Amino acid sequence: MSGKTLSSLLFAAAVLFATGAAATLVPYSNPMVSDLGYHTFCPFAPWSTLTLLFLAGLAWTVRGYIRRQQG
C-alpha cells in the first residue's frame, strides 16, 4: 500500500472518529442518562467521546508521521 493511500485512509478514519465523537453528545431519547446528566445518543458519553477523540488524534498523528516520511 502506498504512503499516499495510507495517508488518505488515516485522514478518513480521523474524520469518522471525530464525527462519531460529536454524535455521541447529541441529545437523544434514550432510557439511560449519561454521566453528563442528560439523555445522549450514546449512554457512555463522555467516555466514548474521549475514546473516539483519542483515536482520531492518533490517526491524525500517524498520518502526519507518514506524510513527513514521504518527503
What pLDDT is attached to residue 43?
A: 87
C-alpha cell at 43: 449512554
What pLDDT is attached to residue 60?
A: 97
What pLDDT is attached to residue 22?
A: 95
How is the chain split into domains, by residue range? 3-70
Query: 45, 24 in Cβ contact below 8 A?
Result: yes
The secondary structure of residue 33, as a DSSP letter, is -
Distance CA 69, CA 10 (A): 15
Q: What pLDDT digit, counting tens, does each position of 12-71 carry?
A: 999 999 999 999 999 988 888 888 889 998 889 899 999 999 999 999 999 999 999 886
Q: What pLDDT digit, counting tens, does each position of 2-14 carry?
A: 888 999 999 999 9
C-alpha cell at 34: 449519561
